[in-house]
Amino acid sequence: MSIAITDDQVELAASLRKWAGSLGAIEAIRAAEGDPAATFADVWSVVEDMGVHAIAVPESAGGGGGTLLDQAVALEACAYSLLPGGLLGAATGGVLSGEPGRHGVQVYAGGVVWDGGGSLGLDLSARHAPTTTGGAGGDARTRRVAVTFAAAEAAGVARWCLDTAVEYAKVREQFGKPIGSFQAIKHLCAVMLETAEAITAAAWDAASAGDAGDEQQWDFAVDVALATCFDGAVDVAKACIQVLGGIGFTYEHDAHLYLRRALSLRSLVGSSAAAAERLTAAATSGVRRTVDVDLDGRDAPIRPEVSATVQAIADHPEHERRAALVETGYLTPHWPAPYGLGADAVQQVVIDQELAAAGVERPDLVIAGWAVPTILAHGDDAQREKFVRPSLLGDLVWCQLFSEPGSGSDLASLRTRGVKVDGGWKLTGQKVWTSVAERADWGICLARTDADVPQHKGITYFLVDMRSPGIEVRPLREITGEALFNEVFLDEVFVPDEYVVAEPGDGWKLARTTLANERVAMASARLSKSVERAVDLATTRDLGPVERVEVGRAVALATVCGLLGVRTTLRALGGHGPGAESSVAKLLGVRSRQDSSELVVRLQGDELATLGAIDKYATGLAADVWEQLNTRCLSIAGGTTQILRNVAAERILGLPR
């Protein structure tokens, strides 16, 4: 996905990418290779005529009167085509000076005159020159603008590399099959997608923060971009060459030109490690990235009523608030009435904002949050009447009977059998990794009811009373020492026909509804627990410079994970479905939580060697170790990381199965 989110910016990005692609940029770069003094004047004259370099310059000064984000969208689109010349420096200089930047005499940042007519170097598409004064160069505002726009270019470079690798993987054949059908290539491309989405989100936020006008927030966003975008663009460019194989290593292919641009951008903006250390310093002083969602006045007609309703909920004693949330539909406002409000994106955001302002927290529906939407979408009226409201009130506890010892992510191969009997079905089989089964009232269960049809068509979705005869629950002790999961054995457990959801054989379709809700819930869960703990340690302990950089990188990744959610929300507000960022959010979120929980323990050094029992309810290292061990399940639960990368590669990138 592009940096652009609004319809106007999406249209701008599309038109500029098409325009830039028509200018023969690569041909101009190759033609100028032997000429150290080449200025790409022909390309620049077209850029100047279009005003692409001055989009963010005031109209009164001859510019386009746009925002920093508008300019970033343009830079990303042009970098996708590797437009040569002085666009990056001119755009930066234009914002700093308030007038359209000039070709060949551009911004001084980091000891280099960007696009200043220097000699031929690593990046064949630009010419940079050393300053005559030396030194670091550039004030704080120069750094902010320069990094913001360079991050946008990094996003464009990364996107071209991803697209090029994916298109090649679809058509290049080995062993009689497209290489994109091999899991190793799928995973390589999926990781490229994860990195590209992180770069895009960080670059978008740097420009958005600049437009918002809060210098402290802009500094923070710029350092997140610096810690994320440039190393990331280099990684994606290298991975592109890896997917291309030998052809990617040739001078004739364009991939090395993009790698050169990525390496050059990274050298211009300064150290990502220094940015990470600044993030640690900012975080320990209490700074966090706060992104305001601009509702453009659409909240005005509904906010007073929402505010009044939320205040009425807040006035209840805490133990009565859940019922009040259910009664008003504010517990699950996106669900249809009468259980929710059928709320659109604007209404959902306003409700969330008002609940947060009033200090009202929604209770976690846990498995009910995955099971009940399936009943709402596919169940009958009697099932909705019996299960939905009691589940919302917390009177019913659910578990999920999907995974089996031989069928984890591969649910289609499950072996639990459902045999038709008078008035219902008898289920026999074994389920595993079942959370809260020991106290659940009901379970959602998949069983094979027809062995004579293809695997995906012979599965039925049952609602099982967990107190039925024939059910045995055995706890499984995990690596934390606790028993959170269970094995569940079903021995001819009778399930009446009235507790079959939809029709027999529809189970696979329904299971996908349940798992989609599961993954959305996981992807939007709080990711910063261990990161906040790492920041606390950086505040209270004398950490070394390497450790402080590690903390800052954890802050950057956790921030990017949050930005992915914001971008998904903004797309919804614009009437669009989720982009790729929503699909990679779990993958990046898992990495953030696992890596940061491990970092927290590592920051405490040899204290681990003398630790007694671990305890999630304790404080300090005992709880930190529990968290580190517990987060190992995140890359397994709800679909393993490897399976999810296959899914991302096939469904988002279009690679063959």
What SS3 string covers 576-604? CCCCHHHHHHHHHHHHHHHHHHHHHHHCC
User: Is 167 one of the catalytic residues?
Assistant: no
Q: Tell me the two tokens of residue 560.
A: 């990017």
Q: Is 52 exposed, middle or buried (0-12, 13-18, 19+ CB in 10 A)?
A: buried
State the Cα–Cα distance between residues 638 and 648, nearest whole angstrom: 14
Classify each residue of 534-553 as buried b or exposed e, where b means 16 or more C-beta atoms within 10 Å of its C-beta.
Answer: bbebbeeeebeeebbbbbbb
Chain centre distance of CA 309? 32
Chain centre distance of CA 578? 11
Strand partners, 459: 448
Residues near 426 by Cβ (< 8 Å), separated by ≥ 6? 418, 419, 492, 493, 494, 495
State the Cα–Cα distance between residues 131 and 115, nearest whole angstrom: 12
* Nearest in space to 161 (alpha carbons), one of 87, 227, 238: 238
- Kindly list the distances between the CA atom of residue 442 and the CA atoms of 213, 366, 373, 439, in Å, as whole numbers in the listed order: 52, 13, 15, 9
Residues near 357 by Cβ (< 8 Å), separated by ≥ 6? 310
Q: Tell me the two tokens of residue 628.
A: 């580190």
Q: What is the DSSP letter of 52?
A: G
Residue 381: CB atoms within 10 A of its CB come to: 7
Q: Which amino acid is at 393?
A: L
Q: Where are the beta strands (DSSP E) in 477-570?
A: 485-496
Q: What is the DSSP letter of 648?
A: I
Residue tagged active-site, from 48, 76, 518, 627:
518
Q: Is 555 exposed, middle or buried (0-12, 13-18, 19+ CB in 10 A)?
A: buried
Strand partners, 487: 474
Q: Pairing relation of β-strands 485-496 and 471-476?
A: antiparallel
- Residue 480 Rama label (left phi>0; alpha psi -120 to 50; beta): alpha
Cite the DSSP H helix spans in 379-443: 381-393
Please list the active-site residues: 518
